[in-house]
Amino acid sequence: MLTDKHSKYYITSLFLCELARTFPHAVLSIILINKGIKLEEIAAIQIFYMLAIILFEFPSGVISDLFNRKTVYICSVLVSIVSYLTIYKFNTFGLLCISWFIYGLSVAISSGTIDVSFTNLYKNDALRLKKFISQAQIAVSIAAIIGGFVGSRFYLYIDDNIYLISIFLYIISFFIVLLFIPSNYNADVQNRKINQYIKKFTNDIVNLLKSKKLMELFILISIVQFFFQPFYQYWQLLFTDRNILPSLFGYLYTVFRLTDIIASKLYEKIKPSYKNSIIILLIIIVLISINYIIFNPYLYLLSMTILLTLVMIYLMNLDFCLRESVDSNIMGTIISLNSTINRLFSIIILAIVSFLVNKTNLNTMFFVTITIFVGISLILNLLYLKRSKSIET
């Protein structure tokens, strides 16, 4: 039976998986170029990664809900090992596309697995659920910082053999889950005929998808990409425009990942509510308006750091609302569906960003995309509050 003590093993496994995943990330483009891949082919390889996630993330969530979340999570780690092994071995464009497809598959499978089991465990304890979400985010952020920095240093000495270190870390993560976290089969599936349960499961999904609140949460979470996509695609150029030296970019990347940790700790102290979300959104629009006219590099850097922190707190608040709103038996499916919608939105938003970049400068593009994000978010949050008040009266 899953208990509170098992969360430490899961977070340790999560930390090791993220450490393994990000170990080659800081030098990924260099590795691909050294394998003979052209610059224009790198983007094509990434498309195969995104395609795998879009195709398999939702089905993997359904399988996780119907059967055993631990088994699905273990499978994701095993597929990660296979993907990194093929990336390490393959040196041609076609084979690397297959490798990145397998890599995307591993990410898709990991969505909505053991984390959902702990969400169910803390469902009636909002403080403990918030703490779990925060601890998981902090573990992932620290792992990403260490992985990106240490991996880039190791690459100078052992080249793409750093993938072997990643594989070793994945193996340790695999055995931690295998040995120390109990299996959590869906009791309802065990107690009924599978066809009867699948029929009920499908009806539950359909009924939930008719919920206006759930649809609004899907949209609210997805449109945050109007901030993240342009920022992480163009932050180096945005900072260069403010006369911030490229030699500082490595340190700035670390600062940006540290904002995830700061946001997670602050999030534990803030009561999740739509009113608090509205306050955060109003502060964000004030900050981005100031950023649009500020040319002092230090003030710009400080303002952007605060902005990143606020957006992360806002997103974690939405994640909490989503998990709190969904029945435990179908939560993995809904979380995977949300992630798939999020990625589809990301592709659309990237196309919008590309259009805006061709029509205007980067600073204006960034201001416009965040204004869209805040505007739609404020409308939906205010509509929800209005409905809540009318129901109460």
Q: What is the mean pLDDT of residues 31-45?
A: 80
Vertex 199: Cα angle to 193 and 203 (nearest 5): 145
CATH domain 208-392 topology: Growth Hormone; Chain: A; (1.20.1250)
Tell me 26's DSSP state: G
Name residue 81's amino acid: I
The crossing angle, in degrees rounded to 10, of helices 6-22 and 69-89 is: 20
Q: Are 369 and 353 in contact (CB under 8 A)?
A: yes
Query: What was the pLDDT predicted at 224?
Result: 94
Q: Are 64 and 332 in contact (CB under 8 A)?
A: yes
Q: Are 244 and 235 in contact (CB under 8 A)?
A: no
Q: Other C-beta atoms within 10 Å of 297: how many?
A: 15
By CB atoms closer than 10 A (0-12, 13-18, 19+), residue 143 is buried
Tell me 272's DSSP state: P
Q: Are 57 and 111 in contact (CB under 8 A)?
A: yes
Q: Kindly state the tokens that stand for 26.
A: 């800081």
Give Cα 365 distance to the centre of its chain.
23
Q: Are 65 and 118 in contact (CB under 8 A)?
A: no
Rounded to whole angstroms, what are the CA distances from 332 to 33, 208, 344? Answer: 37, 13, 18
Q: What is the mean pLDDT of residues 170-176?
A: 96
Query: What was the pLDDT predicted at 350?
Result: 78
Tell me 67's DSSP state: S
Residues with Cβ within 8 Å of 1's Cβ and at least 6 positions away in sequence, in order, are: 182
Tokens 């606020």 sit on residue: 310
Query: What was the pLDDT predicted at 47?
Result: 77
Query: What was the pLDDT predicted at 369?
Result: 92
Per the DSSP assignment, residues forming a β-bridge with 185 are 68
Summarize pLDDT for 233-253 with one digit per residue, the tens: 777 778 888 888 777 776 777
Give the pLDDT band of residue 195 (cuts 50, 70, 90): low
Give me the half-sphere count of Cα atoms (radius 13 Å) on the Cβ side of residue 24.
22
Summarize pLDDT for 311-328 with one digit per residue, the tens: 999 998 888 888 877 776
Name residue 210's amino acid: K
Tell me 271's DSSP state: P
What is the end-to-end Cα distance of the chain in Å, rounded? 43
Q: How far apart, in whole angstroms, are the C-alpha atoms of residue 144 and residue 275?
A: 32
Query: What was the pLDDT predicted at 253?
Result: 74
Query: What was the pLDDT predicted at 127?
Result: 81
Size of the chain in residues: 393
Mean pLDDT of the chain: 83
Vertex 310: Cα angle to 304 and 314 (nearest 5): 145
Task: Break the chain into its structural domains and give their ranges.
Answer: 6-185, 208-392
- Give the pTM: 0.71
Arch. (CATH architecture) of 6-185: Up-down Bundle (1.20)
Q: What is the mean pLDDT of residues 149-163?
A: 88
